[in-house]
Structure 1
Amino acid sequence: MTDRDAPASSHLFGLLMAGTGVLAFSLTFPATQKAMAVFDAWTVGIGRSVVAAALAGICLLIARARFPRREHLLPVALVGAGIVVGYPIFTALALEHVSSAHAAVVTGLLPLATAAMSRLRGNERPSPLFWAASVAGAVVILAFTLRDGISGFGVADLLLIGSLVTGGIGYAEGGRISKSMPGWQVISWGLVLSLPVTLPITAASLVLAPPRFEHAGASAFIGFGYVAVFSMFLGFCAWYPGLARVGVTRGSQMQLLQPLLTVGWAALLLHDSVDATTLTTAVLVLACVGLAQWARLSAPAAPALAGPAIRS
């Protein structure tokens, strides 16, 4: 392999890694709704992080991973706040009121939220075309949520907006720090260090809203296992290294496929009714986000965090 081929190969591998993460994430909403047949939304949203933290802790012990350096603690804390706590609980609570297909369309702006948060943190500088496409995508989402008038915009949509903010923070910060720390360790430490928050919340939710075992079925336990193992841990072990290789803004373009994949999974697994409006909106959001993601960056990414670069 020539020196010229090496960067292209690394870029392709990064996109494949990011794509693998997106494939894992695309099943999250349907799996969450399956799990909520037995478990409370708080148990599914936060409890899955406790299970994932146990897996992450085992991996950290086996690898004898060092505790994050001081300069890594804030980014890891932001990963925990955004991905381990914020995004899961916002989406789980929203899915009590709306379908997976509806949630997938609204959260179709997550790639833009991720890039915007990356810009705010000073990591990457998208061009004006990026911001124009972002506004267009936001308008499409707003039109979708208000298609039945102002009464059509409910608490669930506010929760989904919360998931966009927290998810964008966690995705962007995790991709940034993964340039100087193995990606699997980023999510692992985020999970483990969040246990003082996630463990008490999970215990309280199990006491206040015990599992409804009379409705228990294999699909509910499979759904919970999926969001704990794949959505909360293994998916990020592929996602963060992918973002580190190709850049947060460029890598997040792989999320273009996530809303359509989720809508497809919802129709297949949950038999959700996907009307023409939902499908059309998903395609329009994909087009807006696609335009934004392919817009050239006005400036190169900032250097990685201090410390030797580590490829994961």
Structure 2
Amino acid sequence: MTAATLQAPVGQTSRGLWLGVLGVAIFALTLPMTRLATGGADAPQLSPAFVTFGRAALAGLLSLAWLGCFGGPRPRGRQWGLLLLTAAGNVLGFPLLLALGLRHVDAVHASVIMGLLPLSTAAVAALAYRQRPAWGFWACAALGSGLVVAYALLKAGSSLQGGLRFHWADGLLVLAVLSASFSYVCGARLTPALGAERVICWVLLASLPVTLPAAVWTWPQQAVAPAAWAGFVYVGLFSMWIGFFAWYRALAIGGAVRVSQVQLLQPFLSMLFAVPLLGERLDATTLAFGLAVVATVFIGRRMPADTRRPA
């Protein structure tokens, strides 16, 4: 094997990691911007349903224009199945569950629950690509999950009488994590054949017959603050569309198991963004748990993760 052959995967992985960092930086603003768009239970703005369908409809119309300008290969055969599964997670599942959850917990709290996302994505990718990460990787996954559960119990117990228990919205956020992980991997499997840009564009275009009428149906009837509309435009343009240009390509060329761990940056960035955007407080407990979750994922990323299962 030549030196060039050995170096190519290293360079490809590095490029994938940097594209992943770009995607994660864009996605990190999704939580505070969604919270800005929906408002809280005490001062609601756009409904979670409108934010879910409206952002996908906005991105779908942009996708229609993009495909019209640049064309390229179209999905065929079984690729349509993966596209529909990707749409179920990215277009409906994740944004709706996230928007519903953020009506009842603040973005700093939710960002720690989102700390499960890189480990969840890596687990789904390992199954999909028939890889077998080292036991240390799964030990880190279990530890990170335990920290997230402990944080959710601690924060809920500090504000509710009757002892430690989950806030019911935490369950929605966990389901959002699983939905996103599944759809990320489905989209990454399509990227080598269609290209990252076309994958997300076709996903959104295929969803448009549902998302556009639903967005019109759920259009807000009450006055909405300009800041809420700004949050909506961000999640439609960046979170739902541009961010996936980088993210799907990163997962495909850098390896979904490894690149997914770049998301270790996302909870921490979301917390930092929520402070100036929403005026939320970053308390010591939240910061400590967030950093601990980041540390477990960072250690897990260093564990071998590319051992193939026997055929």
1:35, CA displacement in angstroms?
1.6
- 8 Å contact 1:247–1:301 — kept in the other structure? no
Q: Distance in 1 between matches of 2:25 and 2:142?
A: 26
Q: Is the 8 A contact 1:176 1:248 kept in 2?
A: no
CA RMSD in angstroms comes to 1.9
Q: Indicate the residue corresponding to 1:310 in structure 2.
A: none
- Is 2:74–2:194's contact at 8 Å kept on the other side of the alignment? no
Tell me, what secondary structure is at the counterpart of 1:266? helix
The 1-side partners of 2:306 and 2:133 are apart by 6
SS of 1:273 mapped into structure 2: coil
Partner residue in 2 for 1:61: 68
Q: Which runs of 5+ in 2 are unaligned?
A: 40-44, 158-162
Q: 1:167 aligns with which of 180, 184, 187?
A: 180
The CA deviation at 1:201 is: 2.9
Q: Which residue is equivalent to 1:266?
A: 274
| Other structure's SS at 1:125 match | coil
Deviations 1:139-159 (A, max 9, x none): 111111111446541221011
Are the aligned partners of 2:73 and 2:194 in contact in 1 as well (CA < 8 Å)? no
Partner AA of 1:50 in structure 2: A
Q: Once the 2 structures are TM-superposed, how far is the Cα of residue 287 of structure 1 from its aligned partner?
A: 1.2
Q: Which residue of 2 aligns with 1:44?
A: 51
- Equivalences for residues 11-50 of structure 1 within 5 A: 11-37=13-39, 38-50=45-57
Shift of 1:164: 1.0
Say whether the 8 Å CA contact 2:122–2:261 is kept in structure 1.
no
Q: How does 1:148-159 map to 2 (within 5 A)?
A: 148-149=156-157, 152-159=165-172
Name the CA distance, whole Å, in 2 between partners of 1:284 and 1:46.
35
Percent identity over the alignment is 37
Is residue 2:218 matched to residue 1:216?
no
Match of 2:235 in 1: 227
Q: What's the offset of the Cα at 1:6?
A: 4.1
Choose 136-145 or 288-297, whichever is displaced more: 288-297
- Normalising by structure 2, we get a TM-score of 0.89
- Separation in structure 2 between the aligned mates of residue 121 and residue 211 of structure 1, nearest angstrom: 44
What is the deviation of 1:300? 4.2
Structure 1 residues 154 and 128 mapped into 2: Cα distance closer, same or farther (>3 Å)?
same
Structure 2 partner of 1:307: none
Residue 233 of structure 2 aligns with an amino acid whose one-letter code is G
AA partner of residue 116 (structure 2):
L
Match in the other structure for 2:103 = 96
Q: In 1, Cα distance between the equivalents of 2:199 and 2:131?
A: 20
Moved more, 290-299 or 99-108: 290-299
Query: Which letter maps to 2:150?
Result: A
Report the more deviating stretch, 264-273 or 196-205.
196-205
Aligned residue for 1:309? Answer: none
Aligned-partner SS, 2:192 = coil
Quick one: which amino acid aligns to residue 206 of structure 2? L
SS in 2 for 1:98: coil
CA distance in structure 2 between the partners assigned to 1:212 and 1:274 by the alignment = 32
Distance 1:124-1:198 versus aligned 2 partners, 3 A rule: farther
| Aligned residue type for 2:217 | A
Provide the C-alpha distance between the structure 1 equivalents of 2:309 and 2:298, rounded to a whole number of angstroms.
20
Cα distance per residue 1:247-287 (max 9 Å; x no partner)? 00111121110000000000121111111111111011111
Following the alignment from structure 1 to structure 2, what is the Cα–Cα distance between the partners of residues 189 and 292?
33
Counterpart Cα distance in 2 of 1:22 and 1:298:
22
Of residues 197-206 and 244-253 in structure 1, the stretch that sits farther from structure 2 once superposed is 197-206
Give the Cα–Cα distance (whole angstroms) in 2 for the partners of residues 130 and 195 of structure 1: 39
Q: Measured at CA, do residues 166 and 27 of structure 1 come closer, stay the same or move farther in structure 2, by a change above 3 Å? A: same
Distance 2:76 2:116 in 1: 32
SS in 2 for 1:70: coil
Q: Which amino acid aligns with 1:141?
A: V
**1:118-137 equivalences in 2 (<5 Å):** 118-137=125-144
- In 2, distance between residues paired with 1:36 and 1:66? 37
Alpha-carbon distance in 1 for matches of 2:27, 2:309: 26
CA offsets per residue over residues 16-72 of structure 1, 9 Å max, x none?
111110010000111112222431111112210110011111111111233201121
Equivalent in the alignment of 1:279: 287
After superposition, what is the alpha-carbon deviation per residue over 1:73-102, rounded to whole angstroms, capped at 9, x for unaligned?
A: 121111101111110111111110011111
Q: 1:301 to 1:170 in 2, by over 3 A?
A: farther
Corresponding position of 2:259: 251
> Aligned partners of 1:201 and 1:126: how far apart in 2?
41
Distance 1:270 1:24 in 2: 17
CA distance in 2, matches of 1:73, 1:54: 19
